[in-house]
C-alpha cells in the first residue's frame, strides 16, 4: 500500500527524530511530508517507531492511504518535481 505521511511536531529534537525514522521508509516530498510504500507489517513497525518519539499532547501525524488510481493521477507543479521522473506529471 502506498501512502502519504504528514506530521506536525512541536519540538525540534522530536521533529528531527521523526524525520530520521521517516527517511528509513520513504521519500521526502516536503519538510514534513513523506511518500511511503508499505506492507501491513512494515506500516505497523513504522507507526510504532513514530509513536515512540511523540509527545501526544503536542505532536500529530496523519497517514493518508493512496489508492492505485490516486497514485497514478497526481499532479506536481512548481519546484521539486524532479522526484516525479518515473511517473506522469504536469508542470504548470
Model pLDDT for residues 24-49, shown as the tens digit of each residue: 999 998 899 999 999 999 999 999 99
Based on the structure, what is the number of domains in the chain? Answer: 1
Query: pLDDT at residue 9 above 60?
Result: yes
8 Å CB contact between 47 and 79 = no
Predicted confidence (pLDDT) at residue 64 exceeds the cutoff of 50? yes
pLDDT at 72: 73
DSSP tag of 24: T
Provide the residue range defining the domain that includes 36. 2-67
**pLDDT tens digit sequence for 14-23:** 999 999 999 9
Q: What CATH code is carried by the domain that includes residue 58?
A: 3.30.70.240
Q: How far apart are CA 10 and CA 54, in angstroms?
A: 9
pLDDT of residue 80: 58
pLDDT computed for residue 73 by the predictor? 74
Please indicate, yes or no, if residue 91 is contained in any of the structural domains.
no
pLDDT of residue 77: 75
Amino acid at each position: 500500500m502506498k501512502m502519504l505521511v504528514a506530521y506536525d511536531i512541536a519540538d525540534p529534537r522530536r521533529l528531527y527524530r521523526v524525520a530520521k525514522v521517516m527517511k528509513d521508509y520513504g521519500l521526502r516530498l516536503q519538510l514534513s511530508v513523506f511518500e511511503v510504500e508499505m506492507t501491513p507489517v512494515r506500516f505497523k513497525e513504522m507507526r510504532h517507531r513514530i509513536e515512540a518519539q511523540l509527545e501526544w499532547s503536542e505532536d500529530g501525524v496523519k497517514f493518508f492511504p493512496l489508492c492505485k488510481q490516486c497514485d497514478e493521477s497526481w499532479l506536481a507543479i512548481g519546484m521539486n518535481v524532479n522526484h516525479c521522473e518515473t511517473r506522469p506529471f504536469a508542470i504548470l
